[in-house]
Amino acid sequence: MLETFPYPWAEKWAQQLHTTLTQLFPSRAQLSTVAAAAGVDTTQVNVEQAIARVWWEVLDYTGRTGLTRELVATALDQLPKTSPYAGFLHDLLDDRPVRTEGEPRGSYGAPRFLHDDDQIMENEARLYRDDLTMQIGRVPALVTTLNRLVELAPAVCKLTVSIGGEQQEGTAFRIGLELLLTNWHVLHDEKTGIRATAAWAEFGFEDDPDGSPRTATRIGCDVATIVSDEPDDWAVIRATDPLHESWPVIALSTAAEPEPRTPAYIVQHPGGLRKRLGYVRNQISYVDDRVVHYLTDTVTGSSGSPVFDAAGALIAVHHAGGRPQEVLGLAPTKKNEGIRIPRIVAGLAAAGVQP
């Protein structure tokens, strides 16, 4: 795959590599270091533009010059072994089939937001300075939040689907005795609209407190039961195997109203890896009756994850991740979008689905 000439932008793996490099090396200084080490003549690339566009030009260059493999190898050398991106890069280097994420993307990796776009405005960039410390008086509330999220986390699962002979991954969570909620684009091909031909969930795909991997429980899912809405990017699917009673049900009926300038926490399977919590730089920046925007970190594979407020109440389903951007000289930040729960509840009711 990596020897393809020119760079095969129509391929999902090629688009995901662009997104991955943009997430891994979101500053011009980082990009220049990695690209130069891989043999890229950076004088042939306009680095004075948005970082996603710079990476686009770099990959175009490596496709023409046969340096894509060297670029991927160089990027991998910069990562710790525990990086959620390492497996994807290893698969590319070994010419193994890669699992991709079906999130719709436009030019230069732009996500398909339902409201506006992923551009970080100055007021959003100013939500954070370089200081990520917290007043000591607020720590007990944070501990309470984290404990609640640990209680809810077993409801979240990794979802793998097969579409047209290819596999893609996302996240889902339990909303009923047998029902799982995720995104439309996780269970469908975003270009053709073809529905998944097979799907399965992995519950407990996570680590022990000491970092050791736990044994996950694989649950079959019936693709014939999929009910979905493409415009609002939600979908539900029923499990064919019993779901353990210890895995909580995240009730849609108790969803909360998100508020700007408050935290958003995301329990997710980024990159299809073991379960993680997004909780840093996680302020909500925009809310309307359809979507919520937040700066919480996500990557490909996070689609379909539940988004919670500081009380551990469900507020949205994550559906689109933004591109890292440098604004006002601050650390690269990215804006993400989730679908509001009342919007999904109304859609489920209209489809006759009762969680």
Average of per-residue pLDDT across 5-18: 93
Q: Indicate the pLDDT class of residue 151, thresholds 50, 70 and 90.
A: very high
Task: Please state which of the ranges 163-167, 307-311, 326-330 shows the lowest mean pLDDT.
Answer: 326-330
Q: What pLDDT is stored for residue 298 in this prediction?
A: 82
Each residue of 26-46: pLDDT tens digit?
A: 999 999 999 999 999 999 999
Angle at 348 between CA 346 and CA 350, to 5 degrees: 70
Cβ-in-10-Å burial (0-12, 13-18, 19+) of 291 comes to buried
pLDDT of residue 327: 83
The pLDDT of residue 129 is 60
Please report which confidence band the pLDDT of residue 130 belongs to, taking 50, 70 and 90 as the band edges: low
Average pLDDT, the chain: 93
Average pLDDT of span 327-338: 85
Residues 6+ apart with CB under 8 A from 301: 84, 101, 169, 170, 171, 268, 269, 270, 271, 272, 273
Query: pLDDT-based confidence at 354, cuts 50/70/90?
Result: confident
How far apart CA 232 and CA 183 sit, in angstroms, is: 9
φ, ψ (nearest 5 deg) of residue 327 = -130, 135
Residue 154 has pLDDT above 80, yes or no: yes
Per-residue model confidence (pLDDT) at position 164: 85
Q: Does residue 173 carry a pLDDT above 70?
A: yes
Percent of the chain exceeding pLDDT 70 equals 98
Q: What's the whole-number mean pLDDT along residues 223-242?
A: 97
Question: Tokens 């031909």 correspond to what residue?
Answer: 197
pLDDT band, residue 18 (cuts 50/70/90)? very high
Give per-residue pLDDT as tens, 185-210. 999 998 899 999 999 999 999 999 98
C-alpha distances (whole Å) from 46 to each of 21, 41, 52, 96, 107 are 17, 11, 12, 32, 17
CA torsion 97→98→103→109, rounded to 10°? -110
Mean pLDDT, residues 109-127: 89
CA atoms within 13 A on the CB side of 318: 34
47-102: per-residue pLDDT in tens? Answer: 989 999 999 999 999 999 999 999 999 999 999 887 878 889 999 999 998 888 77
Tokens found for residue 66 = 């046969």
* Average pLDDT over every residue of 211-221: 95
Residue 21 pLDDT class (50, 70, 90 cuts) = very high
Neighbours of 207 (CB within 10 A): 14
The pLDDT assigned to 131 comes to 66
